[in-house]
Amino acid sequence: MRAMRNLLLSLLSREWAGLPLALIVGLLFAIAALATEGLFRSALFLLGAFALILLTVASVRHLLVLSATRRAYPPPGRMVNLGGYRVHVLAEGQAREGRPAIVWFAGGHTGGLAMHHLHRATKTETRSILIDRPGTGWSDVGPFPRSTAKEAQEVILALEHAGEPGPFIWVGHSFGGLLAANVARRRPDLVHTLVLLDPTPLETIVFGPRLSAIKDMRRTAWMSGLAHLFGVNLQRRAEQQLNKSPAHQRVTRSIEQVLGPEVIAARCLEARAGTCFSNASIFDELTPEGVAACAWDTVVYDGDLGDLPVWLVAPKESLDADIAALPEAQSAQASSAHRMMRFFAATRERYLATSTKACRIVAPSGSGHNFIYEEPEFTVAVIRELLEKTGQVR
């Protein structure tokens, strides 16, 4: 069953998959028509022909728009071949005074451009590297299933093929923090310092409340992927719906402001089926069953990082407005809501136990999970402090 699911994801992630799907729809109408008689048969044939033509035109238009987008925004970095698929690596700046290069990972399953504001701010002080994980940004869609463990290996390989030597400062936000921690566990020799910006702890999925937002992420990925094959952007509609929330509006404005119009425009590269189905695959980890299946390969446990320097940067429990805004927290009784807040904060703090050289840095008052966009100067200041301490950290 799982093999069939991965095969389906692999086929649907091809941007031309809308063409055979259109043909299948037309054939289904034809088969249904042959099973009937009279006017109903004629009507089904006409509907089938109309559906075939409409979906074919929509699919071709999607391919043309995607081709035009790729011509308008050529990859600014190197396309590194990992054996059948390519990963985009953007490395800029020069390491000065022995400072290590920085590798950035954004939250969710997002391309490197989501961290471009931090990349811009630091590439004049050391070498800064953005990587588009397979299925995001300029990178090709990689093999399925997608997983954090697999992407940790792909990232290491991409840097090697790009000629970027470590050790690095690995910086990951949210789900990107989980990826960075996985890289650190696998290749501690490539780690100067691990900086986790409110990282995702998988314990929250197993032991925490069932969050509707995570379920919606998986469902939206599937529906958006199918819609993209025919040129319909459901993600934009979903974003418009989310922006009815003042908290989400605040975050969206912050992201648009710090990334800038050029970067926001270039991110339209991810308006494709391959990105959505890659998301759908890797988000399978974000279920109790998914975590149980991948835990040994993906969760970074107490002591796993030995004496590697680890900086955990996040808001305090009482200041994390994003958790307080969750529907589950708002609908719960006061005692349950407090327990939920305490649980999320406690699981996040578990990253401090991964290393004997871990330290905690508190994000500015009033900031939430997305403080890297709401308080970008603070985030840059943390990295600059680390760069200044380069000779003292290891």
Contact 340, 211 (CB under 8 A): no
Q: Say which amino acid occupies 247.
A: A
Q: Looking at the predicted structure, is the pLDDT value of residue 80 above 90?
A: yes
* Cis peptide bond N-terminal to 376, omega within 30: no
Rounded CA-CA distance 156/168 in Å is 11
Q: For residue 309, give the 3-state DSSP assignment.
A: strand
Lowest mean pLDDT of 127-141, 165-179, 264-278, name the range: 264-278
Q: For residue 188, give the 3-state DSSP assignment.
A: helix
Whole-number pLDDT of residue 262: 81
Instruction: Pull the structure tokens for residue 159.
Output: 């840097």
Whole-number pLDDT of residue 213: 74
- Contact residues for 261 (Cβ-Cβ < 8 A; gap 6+): none
The DSSP 8-state label assigned to residue 268 in this structure reads: G
Q: Does domain 78-393 have CATH number 3.40.50.1820?
A: yes
Run of H or E residues at 289: helix 288-298
Q: Say which amino acid occupies 289.
A: E
- Contact residues for 256 (Cβ-Cβ < 8 A; gap 6+): 264
Question: Cα separations (Å) of 110 from 64, 218, 368?
Answer: 24, 14, 19
Nearest Cα neighbor of 358 from 300, 302, 308 is: 308
Helix axes 234-242, 212-228, angle to 10 degrees: 150
In the chain, domain spans: 2-72, 78-393
Q: Looking at the predicted structure, is the pLDDT value of residue 244 above 80?
A: no
pLDDT tens per residue across span 201-241: 988 888 877 777 778 888 899 999 999 999 998 877 666 66
- Contact residues for 251 (Cβ-Cβ < 8 A; gap 6+): 368, 370, 373, 374
Instruction: Pull the structure tokens for residue 22.
Output: 């259109």
Whole-number pLDDT of residue 193: 97
Mean pLDDT for 12-39 is: 93
Contact 294, 147 (CB under 8 A): yes
pLDDT tens per residue across span 90-138: 999 988 778 999 999 999 999 999 999 999 999 999 999 999 999 999 9
Backbone φ and ψ for 357, nearest 5 degrees, come out as -120, 55
Whole-number pLDDT of residue 246: 65
Q: Say which amino acid occupies 235.
A: Q
Higher pLDDT: 35 or 274? It is 274
Whole-number pLDDT of residue 65: 95
Contact 285, 13 (CB under 8 A): no
Whole-number pLDDT of residue 25: 95
Nearest Cα neighbor of 108 from 144, 69, 146 is: 146
Bridge partners (DSSP) listed for residue 311? 195, 359
